[in-house]
Structure 1
């Protein structure tokens, strides 16, 4: 078949554009490392399982780390970079400072993977796979992680401060924040369900238990025992008192009972547009699991991710090459 000269010119122009534009989105695939590093996923899973068996809380920390990465510059492992002027670290943003954790586990994974496949597997993909494996390790859903991301050579503390959801955001603010990243209200409620595991420091929920109105009185009394009105900011409390170490749908049952620990959790069930989704998930764990898995895959595409020749494959996750 012959191409018309004009069609041929357009075809060649398209190829040239794709070649010269490293930020052009390429397709992410679960099989991306099948040939270049076939043992990558089993190696990641082994390290993650060991880390969580040592400390159950680590599952929540790793899921949160992936979430906080994707919401700033897309899923590019920018959250892992240390501050080396002129680069500022997202680790120091208020939403991450002294609360984001699991960096040592990711470093361990990266070291193990580099030993078997040097310069092949990105830190961004490791974060994405670690989040999935963390969910499975504590009884949560699994999903096929799309792979092929590359790592950013930039990070921004100011952008993290601006882009990451805040503890006191109202429902409309949260919905808008997610919408800007292509995520809808159902994704917001599903992804918030990760708070069925993990812990929060007293300083993040003190205002709610001493000044909140949409909150259960007995819940307030229980929470105040470990969170005084002054001091004790780092005293930890489980986000879900009932099954704190199991990934289930109890988080949503807590919200219906006005027992959400964080203000940004309870707003999901406060008479607004997401009440029906919370009720659905509280009654149907399978529905929550299915939607959580789908939302995690969807979040993994936020950015869009760096692919092709954009970014780099970092040798260590905390510093650019």
Structure 2
């Protein structure tokens, strides 16, 4: 009986050691994501990314919105693994060519340029996923005037499937419950959802993403009654009914389309949210409070946005032995 008790104790001890090792391994993988990860291995990496973002925005400031949006769309599909950067092949349609992403995502060449320069001095060291996260941060700084530290150390994924975008990215028609659940699936709170939605204050949208609110909203009223009438008239002039021009675009925020500010929330308060998913934030009592707070306290929103972007950048990351460092962001090794 003593031997049996000893055996059971030994088994329990072994199980505890295994559990401890698993916990330590999980902590170790998480610890790989840290601010200044490349300080010793490629000290110029972050400066190169910032320089390429600066040059890109000098050509077209709209690339800032494209890079922030690209980072968001990357993280919501398989985590922040750079999979949105992978090109399609004859055998596979990649994320970037999903109807949700193409042609709305912009700035791929900025990532390519940064990657090429970094590879020239630090071959096989800096991941495409990290370059994208840094480029989004630099875009925020250049058009929003505020900055935050980006923990790095991500690895690149090897899979990119267009079909996965439809179930993971929020559509412009989503209501608050749907938005909350989609963000919760990625470990983000409802408040973080409202905060990150503020990125819609910059960039542009294709008319096809919202024209149903102008002409085909319901059988009783062709126009969405929650949309400000004067704003609807303006949008109709920019997006004529029956137009087959798929390239027609309008600014997300007509007041300050190239400045990352809290204007998005002011627009919602005045029923000028471009997407119904934007305006929906004013209809829920909890999110409406947050909309009001962000509209009236821009400094608070900027602080929350920075924190939410850092958390977004940690969704489903690959670290340690997982993933790879792509030599070319468009192609798996």
More displaced, 225-234 or 162-171? 225-234
1:145-201 deviations in Å (ceiling 9; x for gaps)? 010000001112111121111111111100000011111111011101011110111
Distance, in Å, in 2 between the alignment partners of 1:251 and 1:117 is: 40
Q: Give the equivalent residue in structure 2 for 1:204.
A: 209
8 Å CA contact 1:18–1:24 kept in 2: the answer is no
State the alpha-carbon separation in 2 of the partners of residues 6 and 26 from structure 1.
30
* Matches for 1:31-46 after TM superposition, within 5 Å: 31-46=36-51
1:221 aligns with 2:226: no
RMSD over equivalenced CA pairs, Å: 2.2
Partner of 1:183: 188
Say whether the 8 Å CA contact 2:32–2:320 is kept in structure 1.
Answer: no
1:12 deviates by: 6.7
Given candidates 169, 173, 182, the residue that maps to 2:178 is 173
Structure 1 position 319 matched with structure 2 position 331? yes
Give the whole-Å Cα distance in 1 for the aligned partners of 2:100 and 2:201: 19
Give the distance between the partners of 1:40 and 1:97, measured in 2 at CA. Answer: 28
2:205 counterpart SS class: strand
CA distance in 1, matches of 2:256, 2:135: 22
Q: Identify which range, 229-238 or 151-160, moves more after superposition.
A: 229-238
Assess if the C-alpha contact under 8 Å between 1:197 and 1:247 holds in 2.
Answer: yes
Counterpart in 2 of 1:65? 70
- Residues 127-166 of structure 1: pairs in structure 2 closer than 5 A: 127-166=132-171
Given candidates 75, 78, 82, the residue that maps to 1:77 is 82
* CA pair 156-146 structure 1, distance change in 2 beyond 3 A: same
Deviations 1:5-31 (A, max 9, x none): 87985687468768999x954441011
Alignment of 1:197-276 (within 5 A): 197-210=202-215, 211-231=223-243, 232-276=245-289
Name which one, 1 or 2, has greater alpha-carbon Rg: 2
- Assess if the C-alpha contact under 8 Å between 1:149 and 1:307 holds in 2: yes
Distance 1:170-1:118 versus aligned 2 partners, 3 A rule? same
The runs of 5 or more residues in structure 1 that have no matched partner are none
Secondary structure in structure 1 of the residue aligned to 2:254: coil
- 1:54 Cα deviation from its structure 2 partner: 1.1
Counterpart contact for 1:72–1:163, Cα < 8 Å: yes
The residue correspondences of 1:110-129 to structure 2 (distance < 5 A) are: 110-129=115-134
Paired residues, what number?
Answer: 316
Q: Secondary structure at the match of 1:225?
A: helix
Shift of 1:87: 4.0
Structure 1 counterpart SS, 2:210: helix
Counterpart of 2:294 in structure 1 is: 281
